[in-house]
Amino acid sequence: QVRLKESGPGLVKPSETLSLTCVVSGYSISSGYYWGWIRQPPGKGLEWIASSYHSGSPLYNPSLNSRATISLDTSKNQFSLKLSSVTAADTAVYYCARAPGDSSGLTDAFDIWGQGTTVTVSS
Amino acid sequence: EIVMTQSPATLSVSPGERATLSCRASQSVSSNLAWYQQKPGQAPRLLIYGASTRATGIPARFSGSGSGTEFTLTISSLQSEDFALYYCQQYNNWPPLTFGGGTKVEIK
């Protein structure tokens, strides 16, 4: 059974960098699929942040103005998100998820999600 | 960026009745459209992909239809566990991947 689990600090100060990790069990991230991050501000909808294929270039939401960096660590079977220069607007539940795809692109929707981790940006 | 618009924002339905949720894309997404269900405090769960294919383990009362810019999620006979938030998402043209604003299905 494939499982994803997010971890990271629950509180980040404004202007600092938010760092999250998603540990994957039951499937090797180097075997395929896109691995990504989605967030949900309190009481609001879902926003895609970034996704990466194990052998391709990451893709990002332009709305984040190049503040996001996603990276895959195949040796640890996990992937991470860094979001720089955070503000209160980055307060959200952050989910990691996988989506089918290949080197040409996504072929389907996010089929497995982590439980989510809450990040609050506050001094 | 493809904008996804869901309607209505809230749908009040009695248990056992049919619920019809709509999702419109600002440009064609072919059949590359998914529906998710989200309950309070939980992660979204994939219900439908490819506009009309049920994900593994999803009951047959959930069905999806449409292509291009107009899509519908139908729940044929609402059960108590179906009262939740529902989101559509396109994966035809990205980045960015985009979600609709959601429809809340509540008990009438």
Q: For residue A119, what pLDDT band results from cuts at 50, 70 and 90?
A: very high
Q: Across the interface, do B96 and A63 touch by the CB < 8 Å criterion? A: yes
SS3 A89: helix
Q: What is the pLDDT of residue A57?
A: 86
Q: Tell me if the bond preceding A62 is cis, omega within 30° of 0.
A: no
Closest CA to A99 of A39, A54, A44, A42: A54
Residue B98 and residue B87 in contact, taking contact as beta carbons nearer than 8 Å: no
Residue-level pLDDT, tens digit, chain B, 108 residues:
999 999 999 999 999 999 999 999 999 999 999 999 999 999 999 999 999 999 999 999 999 999 999 999 999 999 999 999 999 999 999 999 999 999 999 998
Q: Is A56 exposed, middle or buried (0-12, 13-18, 19+ CB in 10 A)?
A: middle
Residue B49 and residue B34 in contact, taking contact as beta carbons nearer than 8 Å: yes
Alpha carbons B25 and B33: distance in angstroms, whole number: 9
Q: What are the beta bridge partners of residue A105?
A: A102
Nearest to B49 among A51, A60, A108 (CB): A108
Give the residue on B whose Cα is nearest the Cα of A36.
B97
Q: B residues 7-46 near A, CB within 8 Å?
A: 34, 36, 42-46
Q: What is the pLDDT of residue A55?
A: 81
Q: Is A84 exposed, middle or buried (0-12, 13-18, 19+ CB in 10 A)?
A: middle
Q: Across the interface, do B95 and A99 touch by the CB < 8 Å criterion? A: no
From chain A, pick out residues whose CB is under 8 angstroms from the CB of B1: 62
What would the two tokens of residue B107 be? 């008990």
Residue B62 and residue B81 in contact, taking contact as beta carbons nearer than 8 Å: no
What would the two tokens of residue A16 be? 């600092």
- B71 inside 8 A of chain A by CB: no
pLDDT in tens, A42-68: 999 999 999 999 787 899 999 998 999
Residue A115 and residue B38 in contact, taking contact as beta carbons nearer than 8 Å: no
SS3 A64: helix
SS3 A113: strand
Alpha carbons B108 and B105: distance in angstroms, whole number: 9
pLDDT in tens, A64-105: 989 999 999 999 999 999 999 999 999 999 999 999 988 778
Q: Across the interface, do B95 and A45 touch by the CB < 8 Å criterion? A: no
